[in-house]
Amino acid sequence: MNTPVGTFLATHYFFEVRQAPFQLLNDLSFCKQLLLTLAEKAEVSPLESVSTQFYPQGCSVVLLLSESHASIHTWPEQGVALIDLFSCSRSIEIQSFIQTLQDSFPEIEIELDYQQFPRGKYFSKKISRKN
């Protein structure tokens, strides 16, 4: 294994959308298409998806990627969508992803926060279990 010590295997991005319209966040077709479009803009490769509509409101979509996964979970009654993108790709187009996310709600100004977390760090010291 030639991965340098201190590097990461993957990056996990978390997005929180607030003030989004109930109608869009409760529309399973919109959420599926949004996640597929975001994956395309991030330049990752979708493989399969699973989704569900909750009653009385809300939906979830999970997209399996060659590089890992992406998901969206909505709370229309709160105007909130939580979106994540987990990828081992070193060439994620995150700015394009963010711009597309903002553009997906053109009628209103959404609030958008995001955080980025490196995952799977290689350590220089092995940790062993004591029996």
Q: Which residues are catalytic?
A: 68, 73, 88
Distance CA(56)–CA(125), nearest Å, equals 51
Alpha-carbon distance values, 81 to 2, 41, 78, 119 (Å): 39, 19, 9, 23
Pair 37, 18: CB distance under 8 Å: no
Q: How much of the chain is helix, strand and coil, in % rounded to 5?
A: 25, 35, 40
Distance CA(18)–CA(78), nearest Å, equals 8
Pair 87, 11: CB distance under 8 Å: yes
